[in-house]
Amino acid sequence: MKASVISIQPLEGTNQFQVLMLIGNNHKQFTFTVEQPQQESFAVIGGDIDFCKFFSFNQHISAKVGDLVGQVDRGQIIKLPVAVGDFYTPEVAIEQQKRFRSRDDMFNKQPVAE
């Protein structure tokens, strides 16, 4: 299923954002929090527990959504909707991971030129 971000809205007076997504034909809404550690140049962006559970097997989507929230937090203008990847069931996601692992194993077994 295709996943996309439809809207990212700041919650007034907070460091939180409401994110509306479309996964296949289903709408999902999540809350993100942006934390700026004191005297640091980076921000920590995290989705609510429902987001974390829902995308636990789809980290590629989690990363893209977090990046988009960070861009909005920094005042960048994003043209929505934005496609953020294919949503996989846990079974399909595990199969995808196996393919990456076997490819990594193949590269790791290659002799290293000296």
Task: Return the domain boundaries, the chain.
Answer: 2-108
Q: Is the pLDDT of residue 113 over 80?
A: no
Report pLDDT digits (tens) over 35-48: 987 777 788 899 99
Alpha-carbon distance of 87 to 94, in angstroms, equals 12
Strand order in the sheet with 16-23: 44-47, 26-35, 16-23, 2-10, 82-86
When comparing pLDDT for 3 and 94, which is higher? 3
Q: What is the pLDDT averaged over residues 54-82?
A: 94
